[in-house]
Structure 1
Amino acid sequence: MKLTILGCYAATPRTLTNPTSQVLEIKNRLFLIDCGEGTQVQLRKNKLKFSKINHIFISHLHGDHFFGLIGLISTFALLGRTTDLHIYGPKGIKEIIDLQLKLSNSWTNYQLFFHELESKKSEIVYEDDKVMVKTIPLKHRVYTNGFLFQEKTGERRLDLNAVHDFEINTCYYQNIKNGRDITLEDGRIIPNHKLTFDPIPALSYAFCSDTKYSEDIIHLIENVTVLYHESTFLQSEETLALKTMHSTAKEAARIALKANVKQLILGHYSTRYDSIDLFKIEAETIFKEVLLADDGKSFEF
């Protein structure tokens, strides 16, 4: 599982910082999460293949999380894209994009599918044989979702020494990996656990964009491998965080601790501070496994 941060700063783009956008690579799928201004430039800088992005998840309709979307959609068309593109986001996103395409007479030469979200309860929005994506309802000034990306548990792993010792024909290997016991020609039944190892543990990634502190999400993100949680402010601006419905670094750490996540990544920093290291220092007073997002930074788990 690899996460590439394209942008992780709050509000407006600046010379050296970009608004929210990131790419998650999981089970050989490439998912774009949020699409602030400058996303396609950052994709190029980080040498990420445009053609592999078939699913885009937008958390909410504040500009610093989706103003780069129409540009990316248009660039896909200019590049001759023919593959379908799926966009998951709040109700209204289709109207916004359609209007821009209509008035600029820039209809795409590929199919564009919008999956508009309205539910205030967690729901599955994407699923294939390897990955499932659920919404994480958040509390912000407008309707907002985070997204939980979960690998599905894989097959059991063959113990090659054991299957050779029992002289089991290769035609039974798939059944064994599927968890079945094997009956030998002499009638002996070999239980599956003697022929296999447990599957590689499934990984998970929870993206929690703009939100005030809310323990309501804890049951949805419990025990995830990695949690990205916005930390717009330090605790000294707790009142401002409450007013704008954002979180502090300490509050993000408190959520990570209560949810028993393995790793916390902080992001969506206000640019009022001299150093983002201050966010890590503050969060680590509550939760120790803290990483800092930064534009162009990649994490592998």
Structure 2
Amino acid sequence: MIDICILGTCGMMPLPGRWLSCALVRNGSTLTLFDCGEGTQVPWKSVGWGFRQLGAICFSHMHADHVAGLPGVLFMVAHAGRTEPLHIYGPIGTSYVIEGLRRIAPEMPYPIFIHELKGDEHFELPGGLQASCAQASHGMPCLAYRAELPRRPAFQAEKAQSLGLPVQLWSRLQRGEILEYNGQTIHPEQVLGAPRRGISFAYITDTRPTQAMNKLAQDVDLLVCESMYDDPEDLPLARANAHMYAEESAGIAKAAGAHQLILTHFSPKINDPRQAEKAARTVFANTRAAKDGMIVSLDFDNTH
């Protein structure tokens, strides 16, 4: 299971009752944070998921509303007692910005490793999440992310029994090992069923709609996507500022065949995000406007 908490939903600046856009992902006992605007630790604390298990942070880009909360989060993670490494991912230029931010958080009880990505790269996140990224269109280095939790094929006990394999060896085959037993070589595919679909989500913000975004979000169970604007009349603003309005975000979800869309990163001028939701639903029906603290759970049992 993957739990995604939308910690904040605002773009540019935090507002009363609306923190800056970021998402916290829980997979088992591990946590991954996507973006980290100022004050991120406050809504995080309200969720009650703890800080010690944070293993990675994925930054979309280096604008302040996405990175300025990093020192506070680092301190909270340290205060929680973490000593294991923390990995930070982001576009080209991430190291330079993090170095500056860490001048007020210079010493941590855990090592921090920074990975700069160009896009179209694959890497592993905590808890076995398989991640990839693509270049967004924001006028500066910016990344959108996708994460997948693979699902192992079903173990077929009757086939293992027909081969005379002791139960104690079954788990090794489930893990993909090849066994030598009783003079025969046993391959995992001899006792495993057909491949099964895993679960996946994409996180897309601060970009114009592009084919790369459609490809990244292909067939995801959940697309978390910006909706900086909620009115098609704001299209000139969206183009000038390299953002999207609600119907464009919904267009990505539709083109990608996503299963559901959560809108976030609303402009401070948007008083009621339900207008963005209404506009997006004209293009992609299964759309919701995020609220701060909203949690969406994805499980193998509810995938197709």
Q: TM above 0.5, one fold? A: yes
Alignment RMSD (CA, Å): 3.0
The one-letter amino acid paired with 2:259 is K
Q: What's the offset of the Cα at 1:211?
A: 0.4
Q: What's the offset of the Cα at 1:91?
A: 3.3
Alignment-derived partner of residue 60 in structure 1: 61
Alignment-derived partner of residue 241 in structure 2: 244
Q: What's the offset of the Cα at 1:112?
A: 1.5
Alignment-derived partner of residue 46 in structure 1: 47
CA contact (8 A) 1:74 1:106 kept: no
Superposed CA deviations along residues 56-77 of structure 1, whole A, max 9, x for unmatched, are: 1111011111110012113333
What is the TM-score with the length of structure 2 in the denominator?
0.85
Q: What's the offset of the Cα at 1:202?
A: 0.5
Within 2, Cα distance between the matches of 1:31 and 1:37? 17
Alignment-derived partner of residue 146 in structure 1: 144
CA contact (8 A) 2:28 2:127 kept: no
**2:288 matches 1:284:** no
Greater C-alpha radius of gyration: 1
Label 1:179 to 1:73 Cα distance change in 2 as closer, same or farther (>3 A).
closer
CA contact (8 A) 1:70 1:97 kept: no
CA contact (8 A) 1:21 1:65 kept: yes
Alignment-derived partner of residue 209 in structure 1: 205
Within 1, Cα distance between the matches of 2:290 and 2:155? 38
The one-letter amino acid paired with 1:288 is A
Q: Which moved more, 1:27-36 or 1:72-81?
A: 72-81
CA contact (8 A) 2:145 2:216 kept: no
Label 1:289 to 1:171 Cα distance change in 2 as closer, same or farther (>3 A).
same
Q: Which moved more, 1:9-18 or 1:270-279?
A: 270-279
Within 1, Cα distance between the matches of 2:252 and 2:20? 23
Q: What's the offset of the Cα at 1:241?
A: 0.8
**2:229 matches 1:233:** yes
Alignment-derived partner of residue 116 in structure 1: 116
CA contact (8 A) 1:136 1:208 kept: no
CA contact (8 A) 1:147 1:206 kept: yes
What is the TM-score with the length of structure 1 in the denominator?
0.86
Question: How many residues end up aligned between the 2 structures?
Answer: 294
Q: What's the offset of the Cα at 1:131?
A: 2.0
Alignment-derived partner of residue 258 in structure 2: 261
CA contact (8 A) 1:146 1:206 kept: yes
Q: What's the offset of the Cα at 1:179?
A: 7.4
Alignment-derived partner of residue 302 in structure 2: none
- Percent identity between matched residues is 26
